[in-house]
């Protein structure tokens, strides 16, 4: 396990890389003995530094929700990261990517919680009853490392590669929607890029929120009322450049878009 001094040093370097867009060397390359436990401790310290300087925690994100991605990273479960308000953008807002490193976009469904998820064991029915509604979302992911050829230790320490979140204008109740069948299409500059359904996320995005809720109970940090939960990407990563216009349309729950400058 890394000692506190090393965790603090790495965390400060990661936060500086996030602020400046200047990448650092991958942790998995520099520290051959790093563990997942070390990576989450680094993530935790990065979040502490952010809140110390005034950022507010607004929720959490779930990553590595597809079997293909898990196999690529050599893991058997998803990971999670913490969302802060600095990364929250409005629908159709402009995003200046000049201080991002290698940004990409994912299409996701956001859950807004109206109740705590305390357990002791959270089920899909618990998630449904605790959800105020869902909204279409774009997650801008970025790596604070030299390239995207990262390992699980890198992305976990790096707040699961979180950079920005864009949420649509419409909230929809989930009571009568089978999210596994919920279809979506994503476009870049008016050209169709991807089509997908909710089943791409662990069979149903509700399942990913169940996983996160139980993981956070295990860690003594249960999900709370008011939190925004990014449930996992329905699509592969989409590259973006200055001048791009990104739009994602979901069946029944609306659309969300972003202008890249």
CATH at residue 15: 3.90.850.10
Q: In what order do the strands lie in the sheet with 254-260?
A: 94-95, 254-260, 245-250, 183-188, 191-197
16-35: average pLDDT: 95
Helix %, strand %, coil % of the chain (to 5): 30, 30, 35
43 alpha carbon, distance to own chain's centre: 13
104 Cβ partners below 8 Å, 6+ apart?
Answer: 140, 141, 142, 148, 237, 238, 239, 240
- Asked whether residue 64 carries a pLDDT value surpassing 90, the answer given is no
| pTM reported for the whole predicted model | 0.93
Asked if residue 256 lies in contact with residue 167, where contact means CB atoms within 8 angstroms, the answer is: yes
Q: Tens of pLDDT along 106-144? A: 999 999 999 999 989 999 999 999 999 999 999 999 999
- Angle value at C-alpha 162, between 161 and 166, nearest 5 degrees: 145
74 Cβ partners below 8 Å, 6+ apart?
Answer: 151, 152
Picking from 223, 201, 211, 231, the residue whose alpha carbon sits closest to that of residue 114 is 223
pLDDT of residue 68: 62
141 Cβ partners below 8 Å, 6+ apart?
Answer: 103, 104, 105, 106, 161, 162, 163, 237
The angle that helices 4-20 and 36-52 make with each other, rounded to 10 degrees, is: 60
What single string gives the DSSP state of each residue in 115-164?
A: S-B--SS--HHHHHHHEEEEEEEEEEE--SBSSS---HHHHHHTGGGEEE
Asked if residue 163 lies in contact with residue 86, where contact means CB atoms within 8 angstroms, the answer is: no
Domain count, the chain: 1
What domain range includes position 183? 4-260
Q: Tens of pLDDT along 161-216? A: 999 999 999 999 998 899 999 999 999 999 999 999 999 999 999 999 999 999 99
The terminus-to-terminus CA distance of the chain in angstroms comes to: 41
Strands 57-63 and 238-239: unpaired
């Amino acid at each position: 396990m890394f000692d506190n001094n090393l965790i603090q040093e790495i965390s400060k370097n990661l936060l500086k890389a996030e602020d400046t867009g200047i990448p650092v060397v991958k942790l998995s390359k520099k520290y051959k003995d790093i563990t997942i436990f070390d990576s989450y401790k680094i993530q935790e310290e990065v979040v502490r530094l952010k809140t110390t300087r005034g950022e507010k925690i607004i929720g959490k994100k779930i990553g590595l929700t597809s079997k293909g991605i898990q196999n690529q990273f050599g893991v058997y479960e998803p990971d999670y990261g913490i969302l802060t308000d600095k990364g929250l953008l409005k629908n159709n807002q402009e995003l200046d990517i000049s201080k991002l490193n290698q940004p990409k976009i994912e299409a996701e469904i956001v859950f807004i919680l109206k109740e705590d998820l305390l357990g002791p064991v959270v089920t899909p029915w618990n998630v449904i009853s605790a959800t105020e509604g869902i909204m279409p979302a774009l997650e801008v992911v970025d790596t604070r490392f030299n390239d995207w050829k990262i390992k699980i230790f890198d992305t976990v320490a790096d707040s699961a590669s979180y950079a920005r979140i864009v949420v649509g204008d419409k909230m929809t109740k989930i009571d009568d929607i089978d999210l596994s069948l919920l279809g979506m299409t994503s476009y870049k500059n008016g050209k169709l890029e991807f089509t997908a359904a909710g089943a791409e996320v662990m069979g149903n995005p509700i399942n990913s929120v169940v996983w996160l809720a139980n993981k956070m109970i295990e860690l003594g940090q249960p999900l709370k009322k008011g939190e925004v939960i990014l449930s996992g990407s329905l699509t592969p990563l989409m590259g973006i450049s200055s001048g791009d216009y990104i739009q994602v349309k979901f069946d029944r729950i609306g659309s969300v878009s972003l202008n890249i400058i």
